[in-house]
Amino acid sequence: MSWLDRFSRTKVSGLFRKSDIPEDLWEKCTNCEQMIFHRDLTLNMRVCTHCGFHMHLPPKERFSSLFDDAEFSSMDLPKAPLDPLKFKDRKRYTDRLKEARSSEHKHTDALEVAHGKIGGQEVVVAAFDFSFLGGSMGVAVGNGLINAGKLARELKSPLVVIPSSGGARMQEGALSLMQMARTTVAVDDFKADGLPYIVIFSNPTTGGVTASFAMLGDIAIAEPGAVIGFAGQRVIEETIRQKLPDGFQRSEYLLDHGMVDMVIHRKDLREMLSRIVGILMHNNQDNIKPAGNPTVVGST
């Protein structure tokens, strides 16, 4: 009898328990499909160590990377109607929201707002989370952006918005489309106070988000390789029946055609924001209007 025969099947299987192997040790790059050690990816601010692709960065990690000493205060956002249209496709909309809210990051919706100092200057930052229903914009996101603008006006500080979104949220129908107009008006009101409005495009920024507040920045910054556009490349090609250029809708292509001002690596964003904010606030002090008392918006 061999030594292996002396072990029962249960003893052998016990040597290789699945629970001994953590499930989150590795992550696959969505661009080059190389496997990356999770700790290395986190240390590299979720930029692929093989191809340099900028992967989705959760809002909390985004805030820590931008604010001085990773110190910031999160803003409590008003609650929006849970399911105003009683929408159902393959799943109920309420079930999709519950799944998204019980996920790893535990957001109430696709937008988070925080304020703190960048280069010693108070700044309000609104960051999208693509992992929450594709960063889609519904009533809650619209309310969040409007209140971010009101907070920035109260603090007399710049407003930085970092979209990462597939566009309007179809489960909220016309209510989601209304947010395009609401956020556009909110940006216009904010800029009327003479305060800087800066947009940092991350991958992807598409649909109704691109067609509203995302394209209104005084300064438009993009992360490398980000997809920025309204309709998708395949839809455009099928409509015009022509092959689009290589890199079409990528941030570098938009930079070459004057649609964005600069393409900045994620590790350099805080330094660049600090310089931009310092210049704009110093040169614009005489044009900044005193702010009144902001009203929290919680309706459609």
Unique residue bearing structure tokens 């998204």: 100
For residue 165, report the phi and psi dihedrals to the nearest 5 degrees.
Answer: -155, 150
SS3 213: helix
DSSP state of 106: -
CB-based contact 224:186 (threshold 8 Å): no
- With a CB cutoff of 8 Å and minimum separation 6, the contacts of 266 are 45, 46, 47, 54, 57, 65, 223
pLDDT, residue 22, reads: 61
Q: Two tokens at 147? A: 């209140």
pLDDT, residue 292, reads: 55
Q: Which residues partner with 137 through β-bridges?
A: 168
pLDDT, residue 282, reads: 81
Using CA atoms, how far residue 131 sits from 7, 106, 149, 157, 203, in Å, is: 46, 10, 24, 28, 12
pLDDT, residue 17, reads: 57
Q: Which residues partner with 160 through β-bridges?
A: 125, 198
Q: Give the predicted TM-score (pTM) of the model.
A: 0.86
CB-based contact 298:78 (threshold 8 Å): yes
DSSP state of 247: T
CA atoms within 13 A on the CB side of 71: 7
pLDDT in tens, the chain (300 residues): 565 555 555 555 555 555 555 667 899 999 999 999 999 999 999 999 999 999 999 999 999 999 999 999 999 998 888 898 999 999 999 999 999 988 665 678 999 999 999 999 999 999 999 999 999 999 999 999 999 999 999 999 999 999 999 999 999 999 999 999 999 999 999 999 999 999 999 999 999 999 999 999 999 999 999 999 999 899 999 999 999 999 999 999 999 999 999 999 999 999 999 999 999 998 777 666 665 555 555 654
Residue type, 52: G
pLDDT, residue 80, reads: 87
> Residue ranges of the domains in the chain?
25-55, 57-285
pLDDT, residue 270, reads: 96
pLDDT, residue 85, reads: 93
Using CA atoms, how far residue 202 sits from 161, 255, 288, in Å, is: 10, 14, 29
CATH number corresponding to 57-285: 3.90.226.10
Q: Two tokens at 232? A: 């998708």
Measure the CA–CA gap between 291 and 150, rounded to whole angstroms: 9
Q: How many helices (H) and strands (E) does the chain have?
A: 10, 9
